[in-house]
Structure 1
Amino acid sequence: MKYNEISHFSHPQHILKFEYLEVPFKCDGCKEVGIGSRYKCNLCDYDLHTHCALPSPSIVHPFYTKCSFQFLSRPPGDKPRFCNACEKDVAGFVYHCQSCGFDLHPCCAKLPMVLDDGEMKLYLYRKISASCDRCGRKGRSWSYRSACKKYNLHVACVKEMLVEGWHELCFGRGKYRKLENRIPSLKGTLQTHRHKSKGKMKKCCEVAGMALQFVVSAVLGDPTTIIAGVIGSMMSRA
């Protein structure tokens, strides 16, 4: 087997090959959206985030120092469960802590603690007291906050923005499956401070927009500047 190929318990009939495509997909493991790097079966149109294709049997997280999260192929129990990072439903692969009952999507569990493009740094927080630049509310889910503390984005809000602009990611399976080929427009989704001067407000929106690009790429499971650039170009064309 080649170094860029794997066999996976969730799709034992075929080999999955590593690919990098600037086309969004729905992960067949965790059921969440992804973009960029993936392991794919071209025969079945079966896709996995790299985090889902190559999971760690167990992990610890800086936000939950007393917890030990075990990788599970399906949510435990019969009751609906939600991710403690993004507050969205857990429908597939999950990291679960049996002692406390916490759950994390694989991509949420592997969210970088710092996003850094060389000019801007965004830090991941479990809770922040400042308002989110998307919803205007405090608290809620995990958030990314800029080093200057002026820009804040809930992980939950970023996911909602993707869903709002990209309903029905997949329709059916196999040859009937329809996959959109672009990230939804995110232009104009951030709140602006209208009391600022026109020049300062433009700069504020530009920086906040750049922050959004990096957070979106991280949430989709591939926090690279290449993906952020793709998203940015799509925003500019909207």
Structure 2
Amino acid sequence: MEQQQLQQHQLQHFIHPYHHHPLLFNPDDDRRGHSCWGCNEPVHGPSYNCKECGKGEGWYTHHKSCAELPLGLHHPLHPIHSLILFPPWRYDDRVVYKCDLCKEYRSQYTYRCSRCDFNLHITCASLEPIKEPEFHDHSLTCFWKWITFNCDLCGKEDNGMPFLCNTCGFWIHRTCAYQYPRRVKVVRHKHLLHLTHSSLEFHQPDPRFCQLCVQKVDTRYGLYYCSKCDFVAHLDCAIFKENREDIDLQKFEDEDEVPELDKSVDLVSYKVNKFNMGEDETQIAIEIKHFSHEHDLILTDEVLNNQKCDGCVRDILPPFYSCVKCSFFLHKSCVKLPKKKKHPLHQHPLTLLPKAPYRSKLFSCNACGQGCNGFTYNCFICEFDLDVECSLKLDIFTHEGHKHRLILSNTRHEQKCNCCDNERNQVFHCTTCEFALDFHCATLPHTARYGQHKHCFTLCYTAEDDSGEYYCDICEEERDPKHWFYYCVDCSYPAHPKCILGKNPNRKNSVSCKDEEKRLEGIQPPDVTFLSLLTHVGLFERGMDYGAVGIHGERLGAKSKIKTLCLCCCLVGLGRTA
């Protein structure tokens, strides 16, 4: 009897035959960071996964519905042949299929006719009517003819086969019918957002702006809305993976506010060994033990030799804590950084680490893109890193370089910064004048020193004069007068930020790339057998799974090949050292 029950909870899946492992049923899957191999959506609730792969944690995770899909299908869109269920990618070149209905490339299972090269994503292939849609009061049926229509949910015109409400003439894309849930939780708002398809709630004559991309919202169509806070978001912005929080919404069915970080977790990163009493009878910690350093740190005011903070890697400012023996220094503000925090750029809680968990101890900040060897707020699941300065930026703030309030915009497409012309996915937008500021410029220090120059340089936001000719006095190249720059008023000395701060401003006592390359020249290359092992486990195709970074601190992408991977860094992923 027990053996029969066990077999009922096992599934031999077509995507996982070469290991001969069955997928085991899990009635309540609540592991964050796992996406379904079938539809590529987060997995919560009933699921199937392989316990043998992934060291017991479960791999090849599927929603129950995705794991139990039929292997073959007769579909009215392609009546001449049967459609066969395929993995998300083609076997020959690993490229994902383009769906003939939604015309999109998605990493999800596909029903395919190989003879005709006809493909349907599993979400597009559904033949069932939608009886209780989350965004409409009536049931929806599929209109099985190709027509040109305007979707009443997203507002976009398209040529396809829509879902139709026979009661009120409501037309909607098939993709829209499945991809927008009734409620979502975004990282940047404490309440759940509700899918709203009525303009009756919006009476203000002024235009509404999406709080996630800072662009105008057409309230005649669907949007996500929090009525408690008047928080508005575009449909696509709210479900964008980088904005969406990975939680099981079924556990919050009766409440709109999701709990913050676990209060039982100790967020304090230091303890006080000794303290003095200040003039106002307040306690001043003069000796502390910080989790990032093995020795006690002493409060001091003496700055020598342009020292840098080991936390934020900025010039040290008194008073600060130091270990003179190790030349280790921390600003008082960096000492007080919490061990864990949530940030609007990432869906998971971030953990404060004294050094990046990569062989080189360097990381590339996911916000500003700069290499850093100081503290990092890290997500181990996603290999996401933020340097200290970027982690302190709120999603809404004001900068003295701009007169209006700036709001964080995190989108799929790159946006140009007005202060440097670089393009990033994450910028701060002004809703009044279309001004955009990236994290790199937003975290530029207000003042800086350069070499042996006796005066301090100040960050300037407008051209120093109206001469019409602007040059950097360090590199002697022309400057764009619209870009921010550093300026010494005493000497009338303008300069590019990169010339003042250097190529690697967020690195302390780091060896040069050339020195590191010379050191690596003495490392013997692995033999052919070991190279075969690397290829066998797929390390060259999944360098990111092992936290692989190059000697310059750059992260190696998930699709990196052998020509672009740093071999020495990859060896660490398998426990092989130089």
- The two structures have a TM-score, normalised by structure 2, of 0.27
Q: What 5-or-longer segments of structure 2 have no aligned partner?
A: 1-274, 277-282, 469-480, 494-578
Q: Percent identity?
A: 18
Aligned CA RMSD, in angstroms, stands at 4.4
Unaligned runs of 5+ in 1: 169-177, 195-204, 214-230
Query: Against the structure 1 CA distance between its residues 36 and 96, is the aligned structure 2 distance closer, same or farther, given a 3 Å change threshold?
Result: same
Residue 26 of structure 1 corresponds to: 308
Distance (whole Å) between structure 2 residues aligned to residue 50 and residue 28 of structure 1: 12
Which of 122, 125, 144 is 2:409 aligned to? 125
* Matching residue's letter, 1:120: H
Measure the CA separation in 2 of the matches of 1:180 and 1:42. Answer: 28
How far has the Cα of 1:138 moved from its partner? Answer: 3.2
TM-score (ref. length: structure 1)? 0.57
Q: What is the distance in 2 between the residues matched to 1:56 and 1:103?
A: 15
Secondary structure class of the residue paired with 2:428: strand
Counterpart position of 1:154: 438
In 2, Cα distance between equivalents of 1:232 and 1:122? 25
Q: Distance in 1 between matches of 2:370 and 2:399?
A: 27
1:61-97 C-alpha deviation (Å, 9 max, x unpaired): 12212x1211111110215421111111130211110
Q: Check if 1:182 corresponds to 2:182.
A: no
Residue in structure 2 matched with residue 16 of structure 1 by the alignment:
299
**Does 2:320 match 1:39?**
yes
Secondary structure, counterpart of 2:440 in structure 1: helix
Q: Does 1:116 align with 2:398?
A: yes
For 1:189 and 1:11, locate their aligned partners in 2 and report how far apart those are by CA, in whole Å. 47
Distance, in Å, in 1 between the alignment partners of 2:339 and 2:458 is 34
Residue 33 of structure 1, CA deviation: 1.9
In structure 2, the CA distance between the partners of 1:232 and 1:53, relative to structure 1 (3 Å rule), is farther
- Secondary structure of 2:342's aligned partner: strand
Post-superposition offset of 1:180 = 7.5
| 1:7 is the counterpart of 2:288 | yes
Q: Post-superposition shift, 1:181? A: 6.3
Partner of 1:60: 342
1:92 and 2:374 equivalent?
Answer: yes
Deviations 1:105-151 (A, max 9, x none): 122111122223795312233347542113324335x3222342432
Change (3 A) 1:11 1:52: farther
Q: Which structure has more RCO (C-alpha within 8 Å, separation ≥ 6)? A: 1
Deviation by residue 1:14-34 (Cα, 9 ceiling, x = unmatched): 4225x7x9xx8621234x225
Q: Based on CA coordinates, which of the two structures has the bigger radius of gyration?
A: 2
The superposition leaves residues 136-173 of structure 1 with CA deviations (integer Å, 9 ceiling, x where unpaired) of: 24335x322234243222222456x76xx8566xxxxx
- CA change 1:12–1:69 in 2 (3 A) is same
Task: Write the letter of the residue equivalent to 2:376.
Answer: V
Counterparts in 2 of 1:60 and 1:16: CA distance versus 1, 3 Å:
same
The structure with more helix, counted as a fraction of residues: 1
In structure 2, distance between residues paired with 1:180 and 1:123: 37
Q: 1:143 to 1:34 in 2, by over 3 A?
A: farther
Relative distance call for 1:101 and 1:13 in structure 2 (3 A) is same
User: CA contact under 8 A between 1:52 and 1:93: conserved in structure 2?
Assistant: no
Instruction: Tell me the equivalent position of 1:219.
Output: none
Q: Is the 2:417–2:438 Cα contact (8 Å) retained in structure 1?
A: yes
CA drift of 1:179 comes to 10
Give the number of aligned pairs. 185
Pairwise CA distance, 1:184? 5.0
